[in-house]
Amino acid sequence: MRVDECRYGASVSTVSPPAPETPIAPPDVDLSRRLAAEAIGSAFLLIAVVGSGIMASTLSPDDVGLQLFENAAATAGALIALIVMFANVSGAHFNPAVTLVERLLGTMTSRDAWAYVVAQISGGCVGVILANAMFGAQTGRGWIFLSERERDSAGELLAEVVATLGLLLVIHGAVRHAKPHVVAVCVGVWIGGAYFFTSSTSFANPMVSIARTLSDTFAGIEPASAPGFVAAQLVGAILAWLLVRWIFADPAD
């Protein structure tokens, strides 16, 4: 999610839509603070995803639909709050696919992009471990236990392309309102809805695909299935980059 600091506070009617080349975060925020925001935000996001999945399985053991609703609602709510919290620090990516598109659009350097991805994956894995630790009594397992849940059907892989493509288009459309809360709500609503209208339950995030291998719970994915999900998400990101350049092109270009 890109943040155009100089446009905040201005009414939408007096501001022209920012071009795709608008910087993703205030230029005066140093890299260390941005990376901390990405790592912390990613950790909390995965705590929400995995923790709510475990809680849902405990509270509604015989109703998978209700479990999914509880998991989706908690994830969407946490995501909205995290984006609002960190949008003006790092741009609140929490997703290597978002970072990849920003790099392809030229809004960040390769060095910063790689650093973001490392911070996101590291933070996400820590978040899963913390969720496992918090719910150890319910699961009867340790802090790390690899998932055995297969998610490798052709339909699920296609769903990840669709979910990631849609997420990135939502982000790049919403960011043109130049208000972090608009982006946050749009992204949260998209992810919450996509839990139900995609067969994969919409991971739409390579970091999430990797981190969720560390918990054999409701939200888990087996390590062997994760590379396919990551590849599908990267395909969705490339398609989104092409569409963003075309649909949201600056009329002056």
pLDDT, tens digit, 9 for 90 and up, residues 34-73:
999 999 999 999 999 999 999 999 999 999 999 999 999 9
Angle at 171 between CA 73 and CA 86, to 5 degrees: 70
**How many residues in the chain?**
253
Q: What is the pTM of this model?
A: 0.88
Token couple for 147: 């998932």
Residue type for position 147: S
What's the CA gap between 214 and 201, in Å, rounded?
Answer: 18
pLDDT at 142: 81
Dihedral angle over CA of 214, 199, 218, 146, nearest 10: -20
Residue from 82, 23, 13, 50 nearest 217 by CA: 50
Q: What is the mean pLDDT of residues 207-230?
A: 96
By three-state DSSP, how is residue 145 classified?
A: strand
